[in-house]
Structure 1
Amino acid sequence: MAIIGEITHTTTYRYAKPVTFGTHRAMFLPRRGASTRLLRWSASTSLPSKVHWITDARSNAVTVMDFSEPGSELTFTFKVRGIYFGVKGLETFPLEPRAEEVPVQYTPDEWTDLAGYLRPHADDPDGSHAAWTKSFVAGDQDRTADVLRRMLGLFRSEFSYRGRDAEGTQSPGETLRTKSGTCRDFAWLMIETLRRLGFAARFVSGYLYDAALDGGAVGMTGSGATHAWVQVFLPGAGWLDYDPTNSLSAGFDLIPVAIARHPGQAVPLAGSWFGDSGDYLGMSINVAVRKLSEMLDPSEG
């Protein structure tokens, strides 16, 4: 089965008086692959801009926008329509024997290719993160599937989602101390924990499709905004998605846009402006991910 869907991502910045703008870069285009076929997409701004597209070192699509006119309001509108192929309710996956227990045994070639995703990035000055990491392999709980399942369960039972307007991502230590954070904070803590256990893990930014919203029901955490989660490389299965915010691990729900070693490499929209520090009045973001129709996957006959 496949879903034809449409994403509309709008961001508006407001200022007390006209300011000038530097180059802005956006990541909104879903990554092409076996599960995604893009039909059309567009990027527009409320002020005149020159737009071009590039790919970064991780093959993420980046939209680059340059401005020549000042303004007191700047709106970015990104739209994309595509076909997403997925399997709903897939909870099991094949693993090679060397990936069934912690630590995973990667081959020399895999170590070379995955090195950037294996090394922990964040500091742990008081050792609290290391202690929390060890709790996942205590006793007989050292099978890969059990560790991943238990980790998702702890995020659901012990952590509270807390949105905030401030930019950036909390350190894993801060998220662990407060037991709260955003989807980016939870993803970053999970990634650094997995790396300390010997897993190759990377940060993913993208969108969350929530079928409940199609019917007007209350949606999952992270709906209506950009979302972030984790991918883990397991020999035999490849890169697998895990969303600690919603305890998701498969299906149509997660639409990847950018992959990165750390959250700072996958910012949905970033740029500069020039004016007085008090000119900035705030920003608003609206993301709509909706299903247009369903279709039969051609591979299913």
Structure 2
Amino acid sequence: MAMLGEITHTTTYRYTKPVSFGTHRAMFLPRRGACARLLGWSARTNPPSKVHWTTDARSNTVTVMEFSELASELTIIFQVRGVYFGIKGIESFPLAARAEQIPVQYSPDEWTDLAGYLRPHADDPDGSLASWTKSFVAGDKDETTDVLHRLLRTFRESFSYSARESEGTQAPGETLRKRSGTCRDYAWLMIETLRRLGLASRFVSGYLYDQALDGGAVGATGSGATHAWVQVFLPGAGWLDYDPTNQINAGFDLIPVAVARHPAQAIPLEGSWFGDAGDYAGMSVNVTVHKIGDIRDSSEG
């Protein structure tokens, strides 16, 4: 089954008087491939800007906006329409025998290609991350998918989601200590935990389709804004999605935009402005993911 959908991502920055703007870079375009087929997209700004498109080293699409006018309000609107493919029961894909238990055995070629996603990036000065990691394995032959689901349940049952306006991502040790954070914080802690278990993992930024929110009801955690989750590479199945914020790992609920070794490589929107520090008056972000209809694949009969 596939979903025909439309995403609108609006960001507004406000200032007490006109200021000038430097280059802004955004990641909003869903990654094309097996999970998405894009039909059309646009980037509009007020004040107007010169827009061009490029890709980074990880094949993420980057929108670059150059401004020449002063303004007391900057609005950036991204829109994209596409077909998004979802697979129910994604873990029904057979894992290679060498991936069924931890530690997963990667081939030499896989080790070369996945090296950046296998090496932990965060410091662990007090050993708290190491202790936390060990709590998810009981012996020498833990089933890989059992460990992954155990980790998802722990986030759901023992952590408290906490949105914040400040930029950036908490250090994994801080999220672990607070037992609280945003979707980006959860994803980064899960990635660093999985890497310490020998599982190749990467950070994903994108959108969350929530049927309840689309219908005007209360949405899932993290909906209404950009979302973040984890992808784990398991031989035989490939890159699999795991969302520690909502315990999602199947369907077309998760629409990836950017993949990265660490969160700083997948910032949805970044840029600069020039004026007095007191000129900044705040910002607002609104993301809607609207399903236009379902598309049935002809191969489904």
On whether the aligned pair clears a TM of 0.5, the verdict is yes
* In 2, Cα distance between equivalents of 1:237 and 1:61: 25
Q: Residues 62 and 287 from structure 1, CA distance in 2 versus in 1: closer, same or farther, beyond 3 angstroms?
A: same
Counterpart residue number, 2:286: 286
User: Structure 1 residue 39 and structure 2 residue 39: aligned?
Assistant: yes
* One-letter code aligned to 2:161: Y
Report the alpha carbon displacement of residue 298 of structure 1 after superposing the two structures with TM: 3.0
Structure 1, 269-278 or 136-145: larger mean CA deviation: 136-145
* In 1, Cα distance between equivalents of 2:187 and 2:214: 26
Describe the superposition over 1:164-213 as per-residue Cα deviations: whole angstroms up to 9, x where unpaired. Answer: 00000000000000000000000000000000000000000000000112
* 1:1-301 matched pairs, under 5 angstroms: 1-139=1-139, 142-301=142-301
SS of 2:117's partner is helix
* In 1, Cα distance between equivalents of 2:35 and 2:229: 18
Which runs of 5 or more structure 2 residues have no equivalent in the other structure?
A: none
Report the alpha carbon displacement of residue 214 of structure 1 after superposing the two structures with TM: 2.7
Structure 1, 213-222 or 223-232: larger mean CA deviation: 213-222
Give the percent of matched residue pairs that are identical in Structure 1 and Structure 2.
77
* In 2, Cα distance between equivalents of 1:15 and 1:211: 35
Report the alpha carbon displacement of residue 217 of structure 1 after superposing the two structures with TM: 2.2
Report the alpha carbon displacement of residue 297 of structure 1 after superposing the two structures with TM: 1.2
* In 2, Cα distance between equivalents of 1:268 and 1:229: 14
* In 1, Cα distance between equivalents of 2:275 and 2:218: 40
Report the alpha carbon displacement of residue 215 of structure 1 after superposing the two structures with TM: 2.5
* In 1, Cα distance between equivalents of 2:90 and 2:135: 27
Report the alpha carbon displacement of residue 91 of structure 1 after superposing the two structures with TM: 4.5
* One-letter code aligned to 1:189: L
* In 2, Cα distance between equivalents of 1:38 and 1:155: 33
SS of 1:221's partner is coil
User: Does the 8 A contact of 1:94 with 1:237 survive in 2?
Assistant: yes
User: Does the 8 A contact of 1:87 with 1:252 survive in 2?
Assistant: yes
* In 2, Cα distance between equivalents of 1:34 and 1:128: 38
Question: How many pairs align?
Answer: 301
TM (norm. structure 2) is 0.98
Report the alpha carbon displacement of residue 221 of structure 1 after superposing the two structures with TM: 0.2
* One-letter code aligned to 1:223: S
* One-letter code aligned to 1:92: S
Describe the superposition over 1:5-31 as per-residue Cα deviations: whole angstroms up to 9, x where unpaired. Answer: 000000000011111100000000000
RMSD between aligned residues? 1.0
TM (norm. structure 1) is 0.98
* In 2, Cα distance between equivalents of 1:240 and 1:50: 37
SS of 1:137's partner is coil
* In 1, Cα distance between equivalents of 2:246 and 2:49: 37
